[in-house]
Amino acid sequence: MAIFDFLIGNMDRHHYEMFTKFGDDGFLIHLDNARGFGRHSHDELSILSPLSQCCMIKKKTLLHLQLLAHPDYRLSDVMRESLLEDQLSPVLTEPHLLALDRRLQVILKTVEKCIQIHGEQNVVATKPSEHSSPNSDQAGLAG
């Protein structure tokens, strides 16, 4: 959720909503995105604190982010194209679209730094049960 919020510049998510109607295996609901895409020129790095402090990311998420950083699938281009048919077009201004690319690079550099410090096997979760809770050494909380 922190990665999504950082990409859209959403600085006011105070809690996370979980959909659990059908049992304990719930999932996050992305509510309260009202401040998203507000200031295209400001990247609020504190939004990335869960990523930079815990240094954990799902492999599938990382692969998608890396793909969206590739010139052929650039996030701003994908968004621009997906919004062309919107009745409210233009939904996002060009500076907001370019901010997505800039912020994506910040996210990838954050993950890269985590991997350099902790090793890929400790940062990139390849199985759903991996890295379910950070240990104090990995979160940078050890003495």
Q: What is the pTM of this model?
A: 0.77
Q: What angle do the packed helices 94-118 and 75-83 form, to 10 degrees?
A: 140
- pLDDT score at 66: 98
Q: What angle do the packed helices 59-69 and 75-83 form, to 10 degrees?
A: 80
Residues 6+ apart with CB under 8 A from 3: 48, 51, 57, 61, 65, 107
- pLDDT score at 83: 92
Per-residue pLDDT of the chain (143 residues), as tens digits, is: 889 999 998 876 544 555 566 666 665 555 555 567 888 999 999 999 999 999 999 999 999 999 999 999 999 999 999 999 899 888 899 999 999 999 999 999 999 999 999 999 999 999 766 544 444 444 443 33
- pLDDT score at 61: 97
Residues annotated within a binding site? 17, 32
- Selected catalytic residue, list 5, 12, 24, 86: 12
- pLDDT score at 17: 55
- pLDDT score at 133: 44
Residues annotated within a binding site for Mn(2+)? 32
Q: Supply φ then ψ for residue 29, to 5 degrees.
A: -110, 130
Distance CA 117, CA 97 (A): 31
Residues annotated within a binding site for ATP? 17, 32
Give the single-character DSSP code of 139.
T
Q: Is 12 a catalytic residue?
A: yes
